[in-house]
Amino acid sequence: MKTAAIYARVSSERQRDEQAIGSQIEALLEFAQTKELIVPSEWMFQDEGYSGAVLSRPGLERLRDLVYEGEVETILVYSPDRLSRKYAYQVLLIEEFTRHGAEVVFVKSPQGSTPEEELLLQFQGMIAEYERAQIAERSRRGKRYRARSGLVNVLSGAPYGYRYVKKTENSAAYYELVEEEAEAVRNIYCWYTEEGLSIGEITRMLTSSGIPTRFGKGFWDRSTVWAMLRNPAYKGTACFGKTEKADRKRVTRSLRKRGGFSPRCSSNHERPREEWIEIAVPPIVREDTFALAQERLERNKQLSRRHTKEPTILQGLLVCSLCGYALYRTSTRTSKRKIYYYRCLGSDNYRYPNGSKCDNRPIRQDYLDELVWEKIMDLLEDPELIHKEINRRVQETQNSNPAKLRKETLIKEITRLQKGIDRLLSAYQEGLIELPELRIRIQSLRKRETALKSEQQSIEAKMIDQTNNLRLINHIDDFLSSIRKSAEDLSILERQKILQLIVKEIHVDYDTITIKHSIPTTKLFTNPTGISGSTGHSNVPGYLLRGRRHKSDAR
């Protein structure tokens, strides 16, 4: 009698719970008896909870190793889609088994011996692949629909600070606050936005304080804190569909050495913010606090002090107007001293295969630092400009037509939902609908009402309170006065902090320096976007920022 190995697979937890794999093995053993095949107990391979769209399955790997040793004569599989959901994988495995002397027999689809039977088998494989794609698409659209309905069970799990409560017959799934963890989240945002601590300092404080992570570990990672600072769930709007899988575009040097192949040739990419689906959850931090954290995270990409040996006041603020690359600091040594310059990254030949991308020349660091600091001090000499800017932003926010219109629409929608709930309760009291139907219909209305109220609170938080801004204006004069008194005694790092608060970026052209910030300067210069000078302005003094051999002056 011939010996045979059997292989069975189920892909979902539900099939595993229903013991669907047991029925497959039973059918395969009965088929082996009818064909007078002997199946050793150690030759029954099974994969529970593994997708048929991948080949990396432990049971299948052991079966392939056994076939490679040449000990298996026949392989019994219930149907082609149990071997793989992809037709190409089916052909690959069948050819591999045949090459090592093993015949593959399907119980529900016998192996074809004629061209017609082989064609039928191929059609079955293609249909199985189509069904899998159809199931995946239905699942994706079903999740999007549930997410738009405000259900949190489509999310991958509750983040740190929350506990996921499963749905019951009377209520849907929801996030519940874990107060100890929520307090740690509030501290993280406070340290980062108010005290200005770095992510590394925050991780060290959490570890030294003995605060456990979600999994009970005593050591915190920087990546964990970074992800918490970016998670919109903490402001009350968890988001579905933030990332998507895509091919890995970046080919590193180590990957090129391996021939361009990697077992992880896909990666998660963040989708556009407007495509995210917001789901209302209990907030832990205020929305303005979360917005401030996002602003600082984005700013730190540009102004990070990592690997900086000697800081400069314009570090991370300089941008080349010609090519868009940043400027870095370099130096040259003369017979008397060492001189520092700012140089465009695009002007370096060694960085690019086809040579430099920009012909912008280096610029003296000490001259440019002094010029920018002087102009910023001139700007701060007139606090009335800052007062006008704050008042303008307050009026712009309060008179924002889209925000007002959206708020009015939300109020009308919430009122309509509340009236609908009242009508359902009246219909139940009059016996027009049964209790199960009432529970189903009123539950969807309650979810929609919660989502709308959360959006209304979000819009109201964005509208700046006039009283708070007036209180801020009263303290600005004292702040500017203290800066002017100690401006000459400030260190480089202190000046750097002041410039980073006021200046967004500084554009360097051939013979023009443009300082971009959020305060209008129409009273000082004709250019409202910043401080600018050129060779054509006779009223603006000139500053020699480049050497004469470059035949270019910059103002």
CA-nearest of 7, 22, 174, 35 to 97 is 7
Tell me the C-alpha to C-alpha distance, in Å, between residue 193 and each of 42, 295, 429, 469: 60, 9, 53, 19
Token readout for 241 is 């569909």
DSSP string across 101-118: T-EEEESSSPPPSSHHHH
In one-letter notation, the amino acid at residue 488 is: E
- How far is Cα 347 from Cα 357, in angstroms, rounded to an integer? 6
Helices 435-462 and 401-429, packing angle to 10 deg: 160
CB 82 within 8 A of CB 131: no
Query: By CB neighbour count within 10 A (0-12 exposed, 13-18 middle, 19+ buried), where does 377 fall?
Result: middle
Element (H, E) at 380: helix 365-380
Angle subtended at Cα 234 by Cα 229 and Cα 235, rounded to the nearest 5 degrees: 105
- How far is Cα 534 from Cα 542, in angstroms, rounded to an integer? 8
- How far is Cα 296 from Cα 272, in angstroms, rounded to an integer? 20
In one-letter notation, the amino acid at residue 37 is: L
- The helix/strand/coil state of 442 is helix
What's the helix, strand, coil split of the chain in %, to 5? Answer: 50, 15, 35
Query: By CB neighbour count within 10 A (0-12 exposed, 13-18 middle, 19+ buried), where does 187 fall?
Result: middle
Token readout for 519 is 């305060």
- The helix/strand/coil state of 330 is strand
10 Å Cβ neighbour count for 496?
20
- The helix/strand/coil state of 182 is helix
Dihedral pair phi/psi, residue 173, rounded to 5°: -65, 150
Cα within 13 Å of Cα(437), Cβ side:
8
Token readout for 140 is 């994706």
Tell me whether residue 267 is one of the annotated catalytic residues.
no
CA-nearest of 270, 269, 273, 316 to 291 is 273
Among 11, 84, 109, 347, which one carries the catalytic annotation?
A: 11
Cα within 13 Å of Cα(14), Cβ side:
0
Tell me the C-alpha to C-alpha distance, in Å, between residue 458 and each of 149, 237, 466, 499: 18, 9, 17, 31
Question: Per this entry, what is the length of the chain?
Answer: 555
CB proximity list for 398: less than 8 A, separation 6 or greater: 463, 464, 466
Q: Which residues form the catalytic set?
A: 11
